[in-house]
Amino acid sequence: MTQERTAPHATGAFVEDPDAPEYSAYGGDWSEIADEAARLAQQRIVVNMGPQHPSTHGVLRVMLEIEGEVVTETRAGIGYLHTGIEKNMEYRTWTQGVTFCTRMDYVASMSQELVYCLGIEKLLGITDDVPERASVLRVLMAELTRIGSHLVAIGTGGNEMGATTVMTTAFIGREDTFRVIEMITGLRTNNAYIRPGGVAIDAPEGAVEAIRAMIPLVRQRLDELADLQLANPIFKGRLQGVANLDLAGCMALGITGPILRSAGLPYDVRKSDPYCGYETYDFQVPTSTEADAYSRVVLRLEECYESLKIIEQCADRLEASVGQPVMVADKKIAWPAQLTVGADGQGNSLDHIRHIMGESMESLIHHFKLVTEGFKVPAGQVYQAIEGPKGLLGVHLVSDGGTKPWRAHFRDPGFNNLQALSILTEGGQVADVVVAIATIDMVLGGVDR
Amino acid sequence: MSESQDLTGTGAAQGGPQPGERETITLINVREGMFGARGDTSGYDLLVKPVQMPGASERPYGEWFDGVVDVLEELLGERAEAAIEHVVVDRGELTLHIAREHLLEVCSYLRDDQDLRFEMCLGVSGVHYPADAGRELHAVYPMQSITHNRRLRLEVAVGDADPHIPSIVSVYPMNNWHERETWDFFGIVFDGHPSLARIEMPDDWVGHPQRKDYPLGGIPVEYKGAEIPSPDNRRQYR
């Protein structure tokens, strides 16, 4: 099974010289290392940044070859957070898979649930049967997630440059979106809320009011972030003209999302290939032609405002569709029980338990079959793409006609976009590497899966 | 490719293709028994049922599919027959099965021709079909045209014994890491890749974890006196 190859090493040394001096930096000892390097008169230094470095958004290893302050070569080493999610999904039912894929890019959980469930529905051929209220709830969740993800991108990006207030402000705004998400789904992240055929549970009473109350709070945080950053001379000095990638570079590297739009191409899957009824919502796709890190921060902020517009429309539609179903009518696919919150936490609704345990043997059998065995999906393969916060998020699903995926492969936009790190950083300053990583806005959980 | 054609035929013969059905291409799996668990007493234990991918489609393919296949055939000229093995339209999606010798040429046409203009390759997804003799490893390339707002899929099948596919990084540089990932997880060797190193697993890892014969791993867990087997050893309802 294993091929005997002299495989090239991804993490191999830059330098062939075995006698090259090595230093481990733990912080605070920089002057000693610099003195030693000066003593040896070495100009060319290879720096390993990460995999445990606060500015690498998790566990990314960046290998930098520097001459003075200038980066001459950059390599990214990934895989430190590989958890075999795709492999694991092959051993669980289609429905259980939702709980796995939601944990990939944990900052944009719901986007992955959405693309996965849309893929399953395409395989099943029930795309048009998903109730409208379920689609509205999905759009609501996708947009709340988009705001959360962009706020993390902006906030951690600011923090890495030393602006802690930017981070705290962004995280307060994100927490406001989480309150609504928690009220509806029961959880802040890793929700497993979007399920094949609909969503796990209808929005509770008061949800529309909570959404409407959240919008001005988040808008205020966005305003604050804009006021704090966009005219700030230090911020502009650090970001303007840094990490440039023009349209040709974006197309060659398959970049999507805010980075592509910052280069001037208004490509957004929500507009070009609408799903969940996005064509019926009124929103704009902001673009820029600056193609630098600064313009991407501006774009992310503008996208958050557009998402708030969509969320407003979702609130209106939720108000108008109270009482409508949130799961397909087909009992062979729809999860049999609604969830409820009991004294011991979230679980099946007591009415449902009473029904299957006390009233209907057939319902009990049906519940048991669907929950343990799952539903069968006709053999075939599909590709589904949505606009995730970080770019085009795709899923390739293969079914062998059984109750489990034969193969589930996700195209995480961060995985693809991280390939641009070299071109974004080489020739620039070491300090700009941090800006470049922040502007790519990948999450290593999604990159490594 | 004649060998793989034969083997595909064998797969189809096992399945007993119903008259009027589409020509089968990929044997996904052979199911045994009715319930997934071996040794049940129902009498259905001896059931053997091959599962096929949706087979080749006949013209007209519908939507914009005919036009794209026409353009591609015209560009390939006399090589079209050998290059495009099958055309499958399923669930509103177009799949072109491409012979690996012609993959690079097909890709450059897809990218460069103004009527095709698939600017982006959205990666390569490996799929392992151990039952599909001679064509065990499939590489699936989703292609995205932003100009025409279209998406199609290229599929290249190779045998386990000779898992070589030309790298398309020279045409689609964005596929660099994606090909490394598919090499890492499936052991498909992308010839001509600038540096086909493992990407997710450690450099010295043995084996290719996403293959079907590679165990998921895990240990049994004791819970209140009962032992719960690891996920891949549990009773499977397939």
> pLDDT for A261-272, tens place per residue?
999 999 999 999
Interstrand relation of B150-158 and B164-166 (parallel, antiparallel or unpaired): unpaired
Q: Per-residue pLDDT averaged across B76-101, rounded?
A: 89
Task: Examine residue A392 and state whether it is found in any structural domain, yes or no.
Answer: yes
* pLDDT (0 to 100) of residue B94: 92
Using N-to-C axis directions, what is the helix angle for A132-160 and A109-124, rounded to 10°? Answer: 150
The answer to whether B149 contacts A272, with C-beta atoms less than 8 Å apart, is yes
Residues 6+ apart with CB under 8 A from A343: none
Amino acid (one-letter) located at A24: S
No. of helices (H) and no. of strands (E), chain B: 5, 12
B56-191 folds as: Beta Polymerase; domain 2 (3.30.460)
The answer to whether A398 contacts B231, with C-beta atoms less than 8 Å apart, is no
Task: Examine residue A68 and state whether it is found in any structural domain, yes or no.
Answer: no
Q: Per-residue pLDDT averaged across A138-164, rounded?
A: 91
Task: Examine residue A127 and state whether it is found in any structural domain, yes or no.
Answer: yes
Q: Structural domain tally of chain A?
A: 2
Kindly report the number of other CB atoms within 10 A of residue A162's CB atom.
10
The answer to whether B177 contacts A82, with C-beta atoms less than 8 Å apart, is no
The answer to whether B216 contacts A400, with C-beta atoms less than 8 Å apart, is no
- φ, ψ of residue B126 in degrees (nearest 5): -80, 150
Task: Examine residue A342 and state whether it is found in any structural domain, yes or no.
Answer: yes
* Chain B CB within 8 Å of residue A266 CB: no
Q: How confident is the model at residue A60 (pLDDT cuts 50, 70, 90)?
A: confident
B71 vs B31, more confident: B71
Q: How confident is the model at residue A15 (pLDDT cuts 50, 70, 90)?
A: low
Q: Give CA angle at A381 (A394, A112), nearest 5°.
A: 30
CB A355 within 8 A of CB A365: no
Distance CA B90, CA B86 (A): 13
The answer to whether B173 contacts A252, with C-beta atoms less than 8 Å apart, is yes
Q: B140 to chain A, minimum CA–CA distance in Å?
A: 9
Distance CA B200, CA A219 (A): 39
Q: How confident is the model at residue B195 (pLDDT cuts 50, 70, 90)?
A: confident
Task: Examine residue A67 and state whether it is found in any structural domain, yes or no.
Answer: no
* pLDDT (0 to 100) of residue A1: 38
The answer to whether A403 contacts B237, with C-beta atoms less than 8 Å apart, is yes
Distance CA A40, CA A197 (A): 66
Reported as type and span, the H/E element at residue A14 is none
Distance CA A407, CA B7 (A): 23
Using N-to-C axis directions, what is the helix angle for A132-160 and A164-185, rounded to 10°? Answer: 160
Residue A396 has pLDDT above 90, yes or no: yes
- φ, ψ of residue B128 in degrees (nearest 5): -105, 120
Q: Per-residue pLDDT averaged across A230-248, rounded?
A: 90
Q: A371 to chain B, minimum CA–CA distance in Å?
A: 11
Chain A residues inside the 8 Å CB shell of B211: 1
* pLDDT (0 to 100) of residue B10: 38
* pLDDT (0 to 100) of residue A102: 93
Residue B209 has pLDDT above 80, yes or no: yes
Distance CA A96, CA A74 (A): 39
Residues B149-190 pLDDT 10s: 999 999 999 999 999 999 999 999 999 999 999 999 999 999
Distance CA A105, CA A447 (A): 8
Q: Which domain holds residue A166?
A: 95-332+378-448
Chain B residues inside the 8 Å CB shell of A392: 122, 144
Q: B2 to chain A, minimum CA–CA distance in Å?
A: 24
Same domain, A218 and A350: no
* Chain A CB within 8 Å of residue B96 CB: no
Q: How confident is the model at residue A4 (pLDDT cuts 50, 70, 90)?
A: very low
Residue A204 has pLDDT above 60, yes or no: yes
Residue A18 has pLDDT above 70, yes or no: no
The answer to whether B238 contacts A1, with C-beta atoms less than 8 Å apart, is no
* pLDDT (0 to 100) of residue B208: 92
Break chain B into its structural domains and give their ranges: 56-191
* pLDDT (0 to 100) of residue A111: 93
The answer to whether A267 contacts B146, with C-beta atoms less than 8 Å apart, is yes
Residues 6+ apart with CB under 8 A from A61: A11, A48, A49, A50, A51, A76, A77, A78, A80
Distance CA A66, CA A432 (A): 12
CB A194 within 8 A of CB A138: yes
Same domain, A244 and A339: no
* pLDDT (0 to 100) of residue A149: 93
Same domain, A397 and A275: yes
Chain B residues inside the 8 Å CB shell of A85: none
Residue B15 has pLDDT above 50, yes or no: no
Same domain, A313 and A347: no
Chain B residues inside the 8 Å CB shell of A387: none
* pLDDT (0 to 100) of residue A194: 93
Task: Examine residue A28 and state whether it is found in any structural domain, yes or no.
Answer: no
Same domain, A198 and A258: yes
Chain A residues inside the 8 Å CB shell of B171: none
Q: Per-residue pLDDT averaged across A66-71, rounded?
A: 83
CB B90 within 8 A of CB B54: yes
Q: From the list B125, B128, B196, which residue is nearest A396 (CB)?
A: B125
Specify the DSSP class assigned to residue A349: -
* Chain B CB within 8 Å of residue A61 CB: no
* pLDDT (0 to 100) of residue A367: 87
Same domain, A366 and A403: no
Using N-to-C axis directions, what is the helix angle for A430-440 and A132-160, rounded to 10°? Answer: 170
Residues 6+ apart with CB under 8 A from A356: A336, A363, A364, A367
CA separation, residue A153 to residues A122, A385, A414, B115, B187 (Å): 32, 22, 12, 38, 35
CB A427 within 8 A of CB A70: yes
Q: How confident is the model at residue A154 (pLDDT cuts 50, 70, 90)?
A: very high
Residues A272-315 pLDDT 10s: 999 999 999 999 999 999 899 999 999 999 999 999 999 999 99
Which tokens is A164 given? 């802690």
CA pseudo-torsion sign A119, A121, A122, A127: negative
* Among chain A residues, CA nearest to B29: A400
Task: Give the helix ranges, DSSP H, for chain B.
Answer: 2-15, 65-76, 80-83, 103-112, 176-186
* Chain B CB within 8 Å of residue A416 CB: yes
Same domain, A228 and A305: yes
The answer to whether B149 contacts A88, with C-beta atoms less than 8 Å apart, is no
A130 vs B42, more confident: A130
Same domain, A196 and A265: yes
CB A140 within 8 A of CB A211: yes
Same domain, A206 and A277: yes
Percent of chain A with pLDDT over 90: 50
Q: From the list A79, A90, A416, which residue is nearest B201 (CB)?
A: A79
Percent of chain B with pLDDT over 70: 87
- Boundary of a domain, candidates A345, A374, A403: A374
A119 vs A2, more confident: A119
Interface-testing mutation among B28, B35, B57, with chain A (most A C-beta atoms within 10 A): B28
Same domain, A156 and A255: yes
- φ, ψ of residue A328 in degrees (nearest 5): -55, 155
Same domain, A317 and A441: yes
Q: Per-residue pLDDT averaged across A170-179, rounded?
A: 93
Q: Rounded mean pLDDT of chain B?
A: 83
Exposure of A271 by Cβ count < 10 A (0-12 exposed, 13-18 middle, 19+ buried)? middle
- φ, ψ of residue B152 in degrees (nearest 5): -140, 175
Which tokens is B17 given? 């293709």
* pLDDT (0 to 100) of residue A52: 64
* pLDDT (0 to 100) of residue B11: 38
Dihedral, A289, A294, A300, A303 alpha carbons, nearest 10? -40
Chain A residues inside the 8 Å CB shell of B198: 7, 10, 79
Reported as type and span, the H/E element at residue A81 is none
Same domain, A342 and A406: no
Residues 6+ apart with CB under 8 A from A247: A260, A263, A264, A265, A291
Residues 6+ apart with CB under 8 A from B5: none
Q: How confident is the model at residue A28 (pLDDT cuts 50, 70, 90)?
A: low
Distance CA A346, CA A251 (A): 46
Task: Examine residue A69 and state whether it is found in any structural domain, yes or no.
Answer: no
CATH code (residue A303) = 1.10.645.10
Q: From the list A122, A273, A394, which residue is nearest B142 (CB)?
A: A394
Task: Examine residue A62 and state whether it is found in any structural domain, yes or no.
Answer: no
Q: A429 to chain B, minimum CA–CA distance in Å?
A: 25
- Boundary of a domain, candidates A314, A349, A374: A374
Specify the DSSP class assigned to residue B229: P
* pLDDT (0 to 100) of residue A337: 76
Q: Per-residue pLDDT averaged across A420-430, rounded?
A: 90
pTM (2 decimals)? Answer: 0.88
Distance CA B132, CA B45 (A): 22
- Boundary of a domain, candidates A374, A404, A432: A374
Q: How confident is the model at residue A41 (pLDDT cuts 50, 70, 90)?
A: low
* pLDDT (0 to 100) of residue A9: 57
Distance CA A383, CA A372 (A): 27
CA B184 to chain CA centroid, Å, is: 16
Residue B30 has pLDDT above 80, yes or no: yes
Interface-testing mutation among A267, A377, A409, with chain B (most B C-beta atoms within 10 A): A409
CA pseudo-torsion sign A152, A158, A163, A165: negative
Length of chain A: 449
* Chain A CB within 8 Å of residue B232 CB: yes
The answer to whether B207 contacts A79, with C-beta atoms less than 8 Å apart, is no
Residue A442 has pLDDT above 90, yes or no: no
* Chain B CB within 8 Å of residue A91 CB: yes
* DSSP β-bridge partners for residue A383: A396
